Amino acid sequence: MAGGMGTRFWPQSRENMPKQFLDILGTGQSLLQSTYQRFSQLVPEENIYIVTNIDYIDLVQQQLPTAKPHQIIGEPARRNTAPCVAYMAHKLRNLNPNATFIVAPSDHHIIDEQNFQEILQKALSFATNNDVLLTLGIQPNIPHTGYGYIQFDEEIQQDGVYKVKTFTEKPDLALARQFLESGDFLWNSGLFIWNANTIIEAFEKYAPKINECFEDGSHSYNTANESKFIANAYSQTISKSIDYAVMEYADNVYVLPANFGWNDIGTWYSLWNLLPHDTLENASLNHNAFFNHTNNSFVVAPKKKLVVAVDLDGYCIVDTDDVLLICKIQDDEKFREIYHNVQQKNGKKYL
């Protein structure tokens, strides 16, 4: 999935160049390119589909030149992840009635690639042989309010895969702290593995209005008529995440605990957590950053510019050609509000 705008990564992420197309970590690859390369080690490249906004098709083709045009799926409108999953489940089932597939965001960072491959092989095998909605769970280390939380039943498990008791999407801070302190919750990684028939049955039961928009396309999928059908489907479907549409309600959700150095790089705070820190917990993507009596802070700026941070605690400074952002580094959930406020005052000039 590579269609988001990355609003919480503004001002570096822009509408015409969202974060999945940026080399956030300075590795020489965008997040999308790293994700594609990672999955090409797991499945044949011809089985990888990139779902993006129709406006980003050219960007995807530029960054992934080996991907065939039919593998780059352009959504005609942004409708969150549930319609995206429903669309691809029907499309893939049309190609292969027994298809099992992985749903993966394009902006994750994985440290232990080998362990990642092994975990997903196990997950694919389990989802192929069982009627389950499987997700990978990550051990939480902070009470993050931007992630889904999974409570699993230790007594109901098979080969290290556990039955999920509750699935709570984006709790408030007080509840997230309770989850962390209890010790029996995992973060939802956003990586899902399931058989196409299983997830379609879940849509039929828990999100029938979304499913109805896509189920009548059996004669259009993988033909020249698909884009016309999908344009009509997206004009009718609602905007909803797969977590809220299905995962919170389904009774056949399972989780495979995983530890492969996962980070979704969803916000400046998550990137700060990922980068090397100095002795005062400062990090920088600018070799000319100078921290004076400053701690727990983060600077992102052009390398040619000297940035001096004095007497700051827990601040994020992001400097681009036309925007300077200064905010508390943990104000993750305010970023969308800030983004929309800028849009209301200035239109799309700075977006």
The two structure tokens encoding residue 57: 């098709």
Percentage of the chain lying above the pLDDT 90 cut: 77
What would the pLDDT profile of 12-60 be if each residue is shown by its tens digit? 999 999 999 999 888 899 999 999 999 999 999 999 999 999 999 999 9
What would the pLDDT profile of 88-134 be if each residue is shown by its tens digit? 999 999 999 999 999 999 999 999 999 999 999 999 999 999 999 99
CA–CA separation, 148 and 307 (whole Å): 36
What would the pLDDT profile of 185-242 be if each residue is shown by its tens digit? 999 999 999 999 999 999 999 999 999 999 988 899 999 999 999 999 999 999 999 9
- The SS3 of residue 78 is coil
Asked if the 76-266 domain carries CATH number 3.90.550.10, the reply is yes
Q: What is the pTM of this model?
A: 0.92
What does the longest C-alpha to C-alpha distance in the chain come to? 65
Domain definitions of the chain by residue range: 76-266, 269-346
- Which range is least confidently modeled, 24-28, 62-66, 313-317? 24-28
Flag whether pLDDT at 332 surpasses 70: no
- The residues near 305 (Cβ < 8 Å, ≥ 6 apart) are 286, 288, 319
